[in-house]
Structure 1
Amino acid sequence: MFEATKVGRTVSKDDFKAQQEALRTELLEAQRELRETNIPVVVLVSGVEGAGKGEVVNRLNEWLDTRGVQTFAFWDETDEERARPRYWRFWRTLPPRGEITILFGGWYAAPIEHRFAGQCTDAELDSELNRIVEFERMLTQDGALIVKFWFHMSEENQKASLNALSRDDRSRWKMMPQKAKFSEHYRTFEQVAERVVLHTDQGTSPWYLVEAEDARYRDLTVGQTLLHAIRARLDSPAAPDQSAGTVSATMPSGPQAQITVLDQLDLSKSLSAAKYKTRMTELQTEINELAWSAYKAKRSTVLMFEGVDAGGKGGAIRRITSAIDARLYRAIPVAAPTDEEKAHHYLWRFWRQVPRAGYITIYDRSWYGRVLVERVEGFASDAEWRRAYAEINRFEEQLVGSGIVLLKFWIHIDQDEQLKRFQDREETAYKRYKITADDWRNREKWPAYQEAVNEMVARTSTQHAHWTLVEGNDKHYARVKVLRTICEALKAALENGRPSLSGYVPCGDKRPMAESGAPAGAKDAKGKG
C-alpha cells in the first residue's frame, strides 16, 4: 500500500512560495471559523523515522494561529503517567471544542513499537487496534475531527535522510539513537505499519499517506489536506456516524416493563444499632489497613456511588473517608459540568481524576449521569445516551485492565422513605442545604428514572465491573454492606496480585507495575534490577 508514497513527487521553490501564502491565509480563516463551532480537531502525525514529522509540525504552527494549537510528543512516560491507565495521558491532551491539538504518534506509537520489537503477537496488536478504532469512533461521534497523517519514503531515501540528520546537532534523531533500529529493519517496520494503517483506516478517521521525500511537496500536501478536512467538516457540522455504536439490546415493553431490577431488592433489610456499631468498628479498622496495603502494593481503587436523591450516598462515603488516611483518597462530588468540561467529551473530566497507583478516588455521582439524568431530562440526545453504554463499558474495561479495583454502588430507597428524608431535611436546619427544588421535581419522574436505572444495570453490569445494588431504607444496613463489599474486593485484589481482567495487557501497554511502582524490569542508579 505504500507504493504510492515512493513515486518521486516534487514541488519547485517558486511553486511552493506561490501556493504557501494562499494556503496560509485559508488555514487561518478556517481556524477562525472553527473557533465558533463545537468541533475539536485532533491531528495525528506518524510515519517512518527521518520523514520530517517535526518539520511538518513546525510548519503547521507557523501557518496557523498558535493560540489555538497545542502540540504534544509522547517520548518518555513520566512517573505520573506510568501510575495510571495508558490512555490517561491521551485524554489529558484532547483539545477543547473549537481548537486544534497535534499529537506526535499519539496512541499508535506504542503498539507499533511493541509489535516491531516482538513484544506482542499479531493477535494482540489487532486487539489493541480494535480498541483504537472504538476510541476514535467515540471521539468522532462526540463531534471531533481526527486527521491522521502517515509520512513515508523509500528505504534508500530514508537512509539518506537519517545520515543527514545524524550530522545535525539540533536533530531529535541524534538525541534518540535507539530509533536507528527502525531503519535497520525497514521492511519489517513497513509490514507492521501497513497492518496498523489498514486496520484503523476508518471512514470517520481515515489515514492520509504522504510522500515525504520532498519537503516542499510534503508540507503543502499536509496543509492542503488539513484545510480540506476542516472545510468539509465546517460545511457539514453534524458529527458523523451518530449511531449507537453497539448492538441494541431488546428491553421489555408492556406491563412487564414496569418491573425493574430495583423491584427485586428487599428494602426491609435492617441492622440493629448495637450490631451496626460493632460491625462498623470492625470494617473501618479493616478498610484502613487494606487502604495502606493497597498503597504499598500500588493498587488503585475507584469507588463510584449512584442512587436516588436522599438515598444515603453521602453517609456511606463519610463512613469510608473517616476510616482512611486523608492522604490516600480524593472524594469527587460530580455536579453539572463546567464550561471547560462541556468543551470536551463527557468522559474527559472523569479520566482527569483517575487515581495514580496506590490511591483511591471516590466519585459521588459519576459518568453514569449520561444515561440517567441527561437521558431523563433530555440533556443528551437519544444517539448520545444510547451509545454511552458501550463507551462506559470500554472506559471501565481500561480501568480494570490497568489494575484498578473498580466498585460501582447503586443505593436505593423507596418513595415513602425518600419523602420522609426530604421532610426531615426541610425541618432540620443543618440539613436544609441538602434539599432543592430539583429534588422535589425529580420525584415526579420516578418511573422514568427507574426505567433508566434498569437499562443501565442491564447494559453495564459486566464481569469486570458489575453493579452492587444496596438496600438503603435502613442506613445502618446500607453502610455496612458498602464497607463489607469494599473490604472483600480489596482483599481479593491484593491476594490475586493481578488486574481483575486476567491476562489483559494490551499491545500498547507493555509495562506491568513492579511493587515499587516502577515498570517491571526497571533498574536502579547502580544498574541493578
Structure 2
Amino acid sequence: MFAAAELGHALSKEQYKTAADTLRQKLLNMQFQLKERGDFPLIVLLGGVPTAGRGQVANLLLEWMDPRHIATHAFSAPNDEERARPPYWRYWRVLPPKGKMAILFGGWYSGPMWEQLTSNPDSVSYEHEVGKIIRLEKMLSDEGALILKFWLHLPKEQLKKRLKKLANDPRTAWRFDDSDLWFLDHYDEVMASQQDLLLRTNLADAPWRVIESTDERYRNITIATHIVEAIGHHLERESVRQKRVDAAPLMPSIDGVRLLDKLVLDTDLDKAHYSEQLEVLQGRLNGLTRHPDFKQHSVVCVFEGMDAAGKGGAIRRITAALDARQYRTVPIAAPTEEERAQPYLWRFWRHLPPHGQITLFDRSWYGRVLVERVEGFASRADWMRAYGEINDFEAQISTANVIVVKFWLAISNEEQLRRFKEREAIEYKRFKITDEDWRNREKWDAYIEAGSDLIERTSTQVAPWHLVGANNKYHARLEVLRHLCERIEAALAATAKKRKNNAK
C-alpha cells in the first residue's frame, strides 16, 4: 500500500499559490454548503509517520476554512475519566454533528496501532480491535457520515533526515523524543504492521488515502483536493440518492407463536410478603454496591415494555436502596435537535456511567427496533441493521466491565386498560397518561410483534433479557431487584476468581 502512495513532486511557489488560492475558495464553499445543508458530518482522520506533517495539515485546514465549525482532537493515553468507561466512549463523545467537521489525530486507530507494536497483544485481541474499527466505520457510514482517512507517509531515509534536523536545531529539539527514534529503528516492521492494518480497514465507504509527504506543498494540495472532491461527491449523493427503505423481511416463527404471547403475566403475591422481601432485597443490593470490587464495575439497567407496565415503579425501588451520589436515571423520549444531528447510538454512549456507578435507562436504544419500527420513523433497512449495532454496542461495554441488565416488563391488554383509567381518575397520576398512550393501544399487536423480535435477536450471553410478567406490580418489583442482585453477584464472583487465578 505504501509503495502505491501518491508520489510527491516539488511544486514551485507560483504553482502552489495558484492551486492553493483555488482550493481555499472551494473548501470554504464546500464547508458553507455542508453547514447549510446539515445532511452529514465530516470526519478527517490523520495518521502517519512522525514528522510527516499531521499538525501542519490540521493547521492549514483551520486556516483555509472557517475554524468555528471545525473541532480538533488528539488522543494520547486515556485519562482517569476515560479509563473508567468503555474504550470507545472517548471517541463517541467527540463525533461532530451533521453540518460540522472534526479532525482526529489517530482517532480509534491510536490504540491498535501502538499496542500491536509495543505490547505484542495476542492475535485474538488484535482481531477483536480490528473488527471493532470496521463495525464502527460501517455504522457511521450507514448513518451518513463522510469519513476521510489520510496516512502521511515518508520513506525511511527522509524520516531519518528530518529527525536529525529536528534534534540538532535548539529551536525544534523539543519536537523530538525517544518514541520518534524508536519508530526509526523499527521502521521496516512498523511499516509492515501498519500496512496490514490499513489494508484491512480500507473500506469502500471509508478508504485510506496514503499521501507521500516529502514535499509539503504537494502534500497540502493533494489532501485539500481529496477533501474538496469527497465533500462535493457526498453532497451530490445525499441530494439525489434514494434512502434505502427496504430490506429482507424478518421470518416469522415456525409455529407462528410470538415470544411475548407465552409469558406468564399473573403471579400471586400479597402486600405483606412483598414489603418483607422488598426490604431484604434492597439491603442486599445496597451491600453489593458497597463491595470493594464494585469499583471495578459499572451497571447499566435497561427498562422496556408496555406502557404502564411499571417501569418507573421498579426503578424507584432500585434507587431507594442506593446512595443518591451513586446512580443516575435517564428517561428516553423523542430525540432532541442535538441528538438528531448525531449517529443514533451517540446519545446513549454519552450517558454510560463510570466504574462504581449505576445508570438506569427508562426506555433505551431499543426505540429504533420498537417505536421507530412500529411508527415508521425508521426505514426497514435502518431498524434491521440496528439489531447488529445494538448487540455490538452491548458487547463492547460488557467487555469493559459494564454489567448490562435488561428488563422487559409485560402486562396484558386488559390490565393496561385498567391502569390507564386509574391514572385518569387519580389526580396525582394524571401526568402519567397522554393521548399518545391511548393511540399506542391501537397498535398493541404491532408492539408485541416488534418486542418479541427484538428480544429474540438481542438476548445475548453477555446481555440477556429478563422477562417479567408484571400484572402484579409487587411481583415485578421483587423480580427486578432479585435479578439485578444476581447479575452483580455473578460479576463480583468472576472478579474475585480472576484475582485468585492471577495470584497463583
Distance 2:169 2:431 in 1: 65
1:455 to 453, 456, 473: 453
Distance 2:406 2:200 in 1: 34
Kept in 2: contact 1:270–1:476 (CA 8 A)? no
Which structure has the highest helix share of the two?
A: 2
Task: Kindly state the Cα deviation for residue 164 of structure 1 after the two structures are TM-superposed.
Answer: 2.6
Distance 1:212 1:297 in 2: 47
**Which amino acid letter does the alignment assign opposite residue 289 of structure 1?**
G
Distance 2:174 2:428 in 1: 64
Q: Which residue of 2 aligns with 1:368?
A: 366
Moved over 6 A (4+): 238-246
Kept in 1: contact 2:455–2:465 (CA 8 A)? yes
Q: Which residue of 2 aligns with 1:131?
A: 132
Kept in 1: contact 2:245–2:379 (CA 8 A)? no
Superposition map of 1:127-276 within 5 A = 127-167=128-168, 174=175, 176-237=177-238, 250-252=250-252, 256-257=255-256, 259-276=257-274
Task: Kindly state the Cα deviation for residue 169 of structure 1 after the two structures are TM-superposed.
Answer: 6.2
Distance 1:242 1:134 in 2: 21
Superposition map of 1:462-477 within 5 A = 462-477=460-475
Q: 1:175 to 1:491 in 2, by over 3 A?
A: farther
Q: Percent identity?
A: 45
Task: Kindly state the Cα deviation for residue 261 of structure 1 after the two structures are TM-superposed.
Answer: 0.9
Distance 1:222 1:245 in 2: 36
Gaps of 5+ in 2: none
**Which amino acid letter does the alignment assign opposite residue 140 of structure 2?**
L
Task: Kindly state the Cα deviation for residue 245 of structure 1 after the two structures are TM-superposed.
Answer: 13
Distance 2:481 2:245 in 1: 36
2:303 to 296, 302, 305: 305
- Is the aligned partner of 1:120 residue 2:118? no
Q: Which residue of 1 aligns with 2:110?
A: 109
Q: Which has the larger displacement, 105-114 or 180-189?
A: 180-189
Task: Kindly state the Cα deviation for residue 26 of structure 1 after the two structures are TM-superposed.
Answer: 0.3
Which TM-score applies when normalising by structure 2? Answer: 0.94
Kept in 1: contact 2:244–2:381 (CA 8 A)? yes
Task: Kindly state the Cα deviation for residue 381 of structure 1 after the two structures are TM-superposed.
Answer: 1.2
Q: Which residue of 1 aligns with 2:40?
A: 39
Distance 1:457 1:294 in 2: 33
Q: Which residue of 1 aligns with 2:26?
A: 26
Kept in 1: contact 2:98–2:342 (CA 8 A)? yes
CA RMSD of aligned residues (A): 2.4
Distance 1:86 1:129 in 2: 14
- Is the aligned partner of 1:290 residue 2:288? yes
Distance 1:214 1:201 in 2: 25
Q: Which residue of 1 aligns with 2:378?
A: 380
- Is the aligned partner of 1:325 residue 2:323? yes
Gaps of 5+ in 1: 503-513, 515-519, 521-529
Kept in 1: contact 2:45–2:105 (CA 8 A)? yes
Distance 1:173 1:33 in 2: 40
Task: Kindly state the Cα deviation for residue 251 of structure 1 after the two structures are TM-superposed.
Answer: 2.2
- Is the aligned partner of 1:346 residue 2:316? no
Distance 1:190 1:241 in 2: 41
Distance 2:466 2:246 in 1: 26
Task: Kindly state the Cα deviation for residue 380 of structure 1 after the two structures are TM-superposed.
Answer: 0.9
The SS at the match of 2:290 is helix
Q: 1:127 to 1:172 in 2, by over 3 A?
A: farther
**Which amino acid letter does the alignment assign opposite residue 219 of structure 2?**
R
Distance 1:452 1:104 in 2: 41
Q: 1:452 to 1:250 in 2, by over 3 A?
A: closer
Q: 1:229 to 1:7 in 2, by over 3 A?
A: closer
Q: 1:389 to 1:53 in 2, by over 3 A?
A: same
**Which amino acid letter does the alignment assign opposite residue 382 of structure 1?**
R
Kept in 2: contact 1:148–1:206 (CA 8 A)? yes
Please list the CA deviations of residues 29-68 of structure 1 after superposition, one character each: whole Å capped at 9, or x if unmatched: 0000011231101100001112111111111111111111
Superposition map of 1:378-457 within 5 A = 378-457=376-455
Q: Which residue of 1 aligns with 2:95?
A: 94
Please list the CA deviations of residues 308-344 of structure 1 after superposition, one character each: whole Å capped at 9, or x if unmatched: 1000000000000011000100011111111101100
**Which amino acid letter does the alignment assign opposite residue 74 of structure 1?**
F
Kept in 1: contact 2:300–2:359 (CA 8 A)? yes
**Which amino acid letter does the alignment assign opposite residue 54 of structure 1?**
G
Distance 1:198 1:6 in 2: 16
Kept in 2: contact 1:141–1:241 (CA 8 A)? no
Q: 1:404 to 1:240 in 2, by over 3 A?
A: farther
Kept in 1: contact 2:70–2:102 (CA 8 A)? yes
The SS at the match of 1:432 is helix
Distance 1:137 1:479 in 2: 39
Distance 1:77 1:45 in 2: 19
Kept in 2: contact 1:306–1:365 (CA 8 A)? yes
Distance 2:347 2:123 in 1: 33
Please list the CA deviations of residues 2-52 of structure 1 after superposition, one character each: whole Å capped at 9, or x if unmatched: 123385522222111111011000000000001123110110000111211
Distance 2:173 2:377 in 1: 47
**Which amino acid letter does the alignment assign opposite residue 166 of structure 1?**
A
- Is the aligned partner of 1:82 residue 2:80? no
Task: Kindly state the Cα deviation for residue 73 of structure 1 after the two structures are TM-superposed.
Answer: 0.2
Q: Which residue of 2 aligns with 1:506?
A: none
Kept in 1: contact 2:44–2:103 (CA 8 A)? yes
Kept in 1: contact 2:8–2:219 (CA 8 A)? no
Q: 1:149 to 1:7 in 2, by over 3 A?
A: closer
**Which amino acid letter does the alignment assign opposite residue 81 of structure 2?**
E
Task: Kindly state the Cα deviation for residue 269 of structure 1 after the two structures are TM-superposed.
Answer: 1.4
Distance 2:164 2:58 in 1: 21
The SS at the match of 1:3 is coil
The SS at the match of 1:44 is strand
Q: 1:492 to 1:238 in 2, by over 3 A?
A: farther
Please list the CA deviations of residues 224-266 of structure 1 after superposition, one character each: whole Å capped at 9, or x if unmatched: 10111001101111699977999x7852179x43x21111111
Q: Which residue of 2 aligns with 1:10?
A: 10
**Which amino acid letter does the alignment assign opposite residue 221 of structure 2?**
L
Q: Which has the larger displacement, 9-18 or 435-444?
A: 9-18
Q: Which has the larger displacement, 359-368 or 1-10?
A: 1-10
Which TM-score applies when normalising by structure 1? Answer: 0.90
Q: Which residue of 2 aligns with 1:53?
A: 54
Distance 1:458 1:421 in 2: 28
Kept in 2: contact 1:403–1:498 (CA 8 A)? no
Task: Kindly state the Cα deviation for residue 180 of structure 1 after the two structures are TM-superposed.
Answer: 2.8
Distance 2:496 2:98 in 1: 38
Distance 1:332 1:33 in 2: 35
Task: Kindly state the Cα deviation for residue 76 of structure 1 after the two structures are TM-superposed.
Answer: 3.0
Task: Kindly state the Cα deviation for residue 364 of structure 1 after the two structures are TM-superposed.
Answer: 0.5
Distance 2:377 2:246 in 1: 19
Distance 2:171 2:238 in 1: 41
The SS at the match of 2:389 is helix
Please list the CA deviations of residues 405-454 of structure 1 after superposition, one character each: whole Å capped at 9, or x if unmatched: 11000000000000000000000000000000000000000011011001
Task: Kindly state the Cα deviation for residue 97 of structure 1 after the two structures are TM-superposed.
Answer: 0.2
The SS at the match of 2:321 is coil
Task: Kindly state the Cα deviation for residue 357 of structure 1 after the two structures are TM-superposed.
Answer: 1.0
* Matched pairs, number: 500
Distance 1:333 1:350 in 2: 11
Kept in 2: contact 1:90–1:106 (CA 8 A)? yes
